Amino acid sequence: MSSARSERLMKLLIMLLVQRQYVGKDRIREALYPGTGDEAFERMFERDKDELRSLGVPVETGTHDAYFDDAQGYRVRPDAFELPEVVLTSAEAAVLRVATQVWQTTRLADATRDGLRKLTAGGAPVALGDDAASDLGVRIPLLGAEEPSFDVFVEAAHVRSEVVFDYRGTQDVAARRRRLQTWGVVRHGGRWYAVGRDPEVPLGPDEDGRRVFRLSRVVGQARTQGRRDAFDVPADVDVREIARRIAPPARSGAPAVLLVRQGAGFALRRDAAEVTPGVRGPDGGEAWDRVRLPWSGEEVARTVLEHGADVVVEEPPALRDQVVTALREIAGPGETPGPGEESR
């Protein structure tokens, strides 16, 4: 029955927590696993330790006996176990309470509540069970993940276990078995990606095995394999930074000045800082507007190209050159003026 198991886990924790020194395996076995055979004890004890660790209990292994260094013992240091003091005002507690409603995936919604329950237990005035307290007049943004493997990767990133999964990349005809030491899970454009290292890639001067997998391309069920704390995340890895690299900011670069045909270019007009209607266009006609954008990054270049003869770049020169170069490459050797000289 589960309550017998809870009882044993609790007793084990208390035993390891109150002792100043490592507690020997034999003593633990005598006190909490009486009457078990060698094999059964080992199995139960391993599972119990794992269970406590999965709750976040820092179970340390070591030895206190200088003469018998094979006598392995266990302990939980109170300073590593205990939540540091966090004194929260009731306003801060109210915001934290609202935070419990953001996550839409079960695992992280539970994790948020469990974390907050610990703060409440430590004295924070949170009132987790009081639904009336949740209304701060705040529109709560919802953070979800449709990808079934999301929780597996998130958990693996936190306990640092390896994940095994089948993945069908853009260029794969069929799904392929992959492994990943997950450093983090990042969102971009409404999709989640796992970032980490492929342990099968040997490290080299130009290769660090860094990989990004789109979770919606994981086929079937991902699972963790092997032990916890199986790898270290390199100190210089910042998942926020990697997220930014996956998603180079669309809105960068010098301000852009565009000529946009009237009745067209709505995607660009939407972001305009200023629109001057009825200006002379590149065809000599007046049915054009001058549209100023606060930026001119890659996304602007792509959007301008998409609009074909409805949009012409005036500024900045880099954007103009990028667009003209791309158009020349696809226009072919037709009857257009040759590249370069005579137009400059």
Partner 1 sequence: MSAPSGAGARDQVGRMLALVPYLNARGSVHVDEASRDLGVPAQQIVQDLRVLFLCGLPGGYPDDLIDVDIEALTDADGDGVIRMSNADYLSRPLRLAPTEASALVVALRVLDADPGLPEATRASLHSALAKLEGALGQDRPRIEAGDTDPGQRDLDELAGRVEDALAAGEQLRITYHVPARDELVERTVDPWALVRRGGVAYLEAWCHLVSDERSFRLDRVHHAVRLTTPVEHRRPPVAVPDGQDPAGEQDQGATPGDVFPRADETLLATLRLAPPARWVPDYYRTEAVRPQEDGTLEIDLRVADPRWLERLVLRLAPHATVLDPTSVSEQVTASAQRTLRLYEGGRVG
Min dist CB 172 to partner 1, Å, is 9
334 binds partner 1 (CB under 8 A): yes
Q: Which positions from 288 through 317 interact with partner 1, judged by CB under 8 A?
A: 302-303, 305-310, 312
Measured from the CB atom, is 239 or 275 closer to partner 1? 239
Measured from the CB atom, is 202 or 343 closer to partner 1? 343
Q: Which positions from 72 through 101 interact with partner 1, judged by CB under 8 A?
A: 78, 80-89, 91-96, 98-100
**Both tokens assigned to 235:** 């100190």
Closest C-alpha to 326, from 312, 297, 308, 305: 305
Min dist CB 49 to partner 1, Å, is 12
**Both tokens assigned to 87:** 């004194």
Min dist CB 233 to partner 1, Å, is 8
Of residues 21, 43, 71, 140, which one binds partner 1 by CB under 8 A? Answer: 140
Min dist CB 313 to partner 1, Å, is 8
Kindly indicate which of the ranges 60-68, 200-208, 219-227, 264-272 contains the residues binding partner 1, using the contact rule CB under 8 A.
264-272
Backbone angles phi, psi at 274, to 5 degrees: -160, 140
161-180 footprint of partner 1 as x/- string (CB under 8 A): ---------xx-x-------
Measured from the CB atom, is 198 or 314 closer to partner 1? 314
Kindly indicate which of the ranges 35-43, 65-73, 200-208, 261-269 contains the residues binding partner 1, using the contact rule CB under 8 A.
261-269
Closest C-alpha to 12, from 28, 27, 30, 26: 28
Helix (H, G, I), strand (E, B) or coil at 279: strand
The count of other CB atoms within 10 Å of the CB of residue 81 is 14
Measured CA to CA, the distance from residue 219 to residue 229 in angstroms comes to 26
Measured CA to CA, the distance from residue 104 to residue 143 in angstroms comes to 6
Can you say how many angstroms the Cα of residue 228 is from the centroid of all Cα atoms in its chain?
19
Q: Which positions from 9 through 48 interact with partner 1, judged by CB under 8 A?
A: 9-11, 13-15, 17-18, 31
Can you say how many angstroms the Cα of residue 18 is from the centroid of all Cα atoms in its chain?
37
Residue 316: cis peptide before it, omega within 30 degrees of 0: yes
Backbone angles phi, psi at 90, to 5 degrees: -70, -30
Please give the single-letter amino acid code of residue 199.
P
Q: Which positions from 188 through 247 interact with partner 1, judged by CB under 8 A?
A: 188-191, 214, 216-217, 238-240, 242-244, 247
Kindly indicate which of the ranges 61-69, 126-134, 203-211, 218-226 contains the residues binding partner 1, using the contact rule CB under 8 A.
126-134
Any idea what DSSP says for residue 176? E
269-288 footprint of partner 1 as x/- string (CB under 8 A): -x----------xxxx----
Residue 58: cis peptide before it, omega within 30 degrees of 0: no
Of residues 118, 176, 223, 245, which one binds partner 1 by CB under 8 A? Answer: 118
